[in-house]
Structure 1
């Protein structure tokens, strides 16, 4: 066994109903006096709750999915003009993404208060979109110095969005199993994150107000993000970045829809990992069953329980979009992917995701 693992330095404060006190303590610890609060209009009430014990200098609500460069520039200018010394983002992945875009060029630290299971708050990955192309990168300046988790905020998240956001987190886990920086440590984090997400999301669907289920899901989303921050973007995320940036598909729903197709494609090449994933999802392989089908069946059983999104066609993607998407994805495929990727593979995978079908695992062409 030989590997190099990096754990990102970040403070995590987890406590339901404790966001205002925890955020105030962090603002004081960081000696910040000019706080910019980033929250969409929809997220404003939660942001007011979280910031009840501080006095923000600036509120910013222009939050746009996939962080267009022009919107990022306006927010950066506002931060500079108001001498902001701390960014507090309260919301989902788009809100955190905007804070990261500001921090990338200004160096202003971030305290993140997540209200979904997006996981962006625990990574040093940034992304902006320009000319129908989403560009991502890694920079420690965008890693929030502190994450304030309060599961109370997720109790008002509609079940449908909870499911897609939670499956987005599960995609972080699964991609971390074979991404460029995959190692035994982040695989362990990813598999435990998958276990927690499967249990938590089932509980959320059964009772959306169940705080324990919400906490379990939020805990799993954090583990997913930490593993992803170390492992990096695998094939799944490269595909979804193309679909989001080029075709403006909704982030969480796209991840939730594409995930079983990528798992079916890659799992046959890593049977031991696939077996561990099936067990983590609560449906270990039965005697005589191969690991890859077991993992795919476990994921699809969870998706059935959750009534998960099934088809990219439901979000505006069309068959006419597949050729362009395929060529863009092929340029971004990580060399670490356990299966050799061809034009035909991506075309078939996107066709399955478009129509809402999961291809059966097949004999892989190993890299």
Structure 2
């Protein structure tokens, strides 16, 4: 059968190098001719951000960062950027920090240079998200796509093991969702599978040895590919669920993705056997001998669960504050945003079973 598809690749510079963040940032600020920079970094990242931006023309350092990017915070940050005549943004941190910089850029048009310290992947997409009144709204706008991304694995060395795992699985969720998202095509599927392979190989190395530079490099590389695939393919069922849960119930972003992922994969896997085989092979990189991807080894979901188990990944949403009585409300909120492209029809009953299993920490099971 001949191929027929439309693929969009976003334009962005990527600078990658261990210990080179400061040097690369200076290069990018010079290239952008930036003279008044706003550095967005949470209080916990202050020392790191100050160190790598010490040579920049910083006009404002913004340290208030909150997950899910509340609208009231965005409005104050935008006003500060305007009052300080900022001409460029530098974000140093995880997804919430990048998200705030994107929200500022959405209306100001200011260029962003993103310096990720986790594997969230927001830096490689043109997707923005803000929360107000318990509702998380997302959109797509090229204004929010960072002009450049500076990847430096040295900046991830202090990332706690638990957050390393959750953030890495959040990145892996970008790969999985991209296999059947609304704009999935052969190119972004190939990128997603390479991202999954890199993450499945790098994450166990980092968990065993926090100082493994090659493992950290591989995780950052995988996270970038995951986000690039996601930016092209669009948001699938998994991300719709997690955005609703995060906005409505204030659940932690990375941990929510880490818990929900295997349940969505288990739901969809029977309907996409070829994609599932390819994903199983990619996840095989997470075992010493690659056994998880060998013929006859079972499902991609089982391979993912072996990887998650080896990482000590979180398993239950109730551990992060979701109450069982919240589940019917969650179902009602998710149903209207379920993508038509999802391989399996999502009924209220199926969605409730999926969410309850994720809430309770049950073993993910297919309904086939």
TM range (shorter): over 0.9
Match of 1:320 in 2: 325
Do 1:21 and 1:53's aligned partners in 2 also have CA atoms closer than 8 Å?
no
Query: 3-state SS of the aligned residue for 2:149?
Result: strand
Match of 1:302 in 2: 307
Match of 2:85 in 1: 83
Match of 1:279 in 2: 281
Say whether 1:181 aligns with 2:186: no
- The ranges of structure 1 where at least 4 consecutive aligned residues each deviate by more than 3 angstroms after the TM superposition are none
CA distance in 1, matches of 2:23, 2:155: 15
Match of 2:33 in 1: 31
What does 1:321-360 correspond to in 2, within 5 Å?
A: 321-360=326-365
CA distance in 2, matches of 1:10, 1:49: 25
Say whether 1:106 aligns with 2:115: no
CA distance in 2, matches of 1:68, 1:11: 28
Query: 3-state SS of the aligned residue for 2:129?
Result: strand
Give the TM-score normalised by the residue count of structure 1: 0.97
Match of 2:238 in 1: 236
Cα offset for 1:285?
A: 5.0
1:199-222 per-residue CA deviation (whole Å, 9 max, x = no partner) reads 100000110111110000000000
Match of 1:59 in 2: 61
Cα offset for 1:186?
A: 0.4
1:294-352 per-residue CA deviation (whole Å, 9 max, x = no partner) reads 10110000000000000000000011000010011001000110111100011000000
Match of 1:225 in 2: 227
CA distance in 2, matches of 1:143, 1:278: 31
CA distance in 1, matches of 2:212, 2:129: 33
What does 1:8-19 correspond to in 2, within 5 Å?
A: 8-19=10-21
- CA RMSD across the alignment: 0.8
Q: Unmatched 5+ residue regions in structure 2?
A: 285-291
Aligned pairs, number: 359
CA distance in 2, matches of 1:360, 1:75: 44
Match of 2:168 in 1: 166
Match of 1:256 in 2: 258
Cα offset for 1:52?
A: 2.4
Do 1:167 and 1:255's aligned partners in 2 also have CA atoms closer than 8 Å?
yes
Of 1, 5, 8, the match for 2:7: 5
Match of 2:287 in 1: none
1:9-62 per-residue CA deviation (whole Å, 9 max, x = no partner) reads 000000111000100010000000010000000011111122122131100011
Do 1:32 and 1:86's aligned partners in 2 also have CA atoms closer than 8 Å?
yes
1:276-296 per-residue CA deviation (whole Å, 9 max, x = no partner) reads 000000012533x6xxx5101
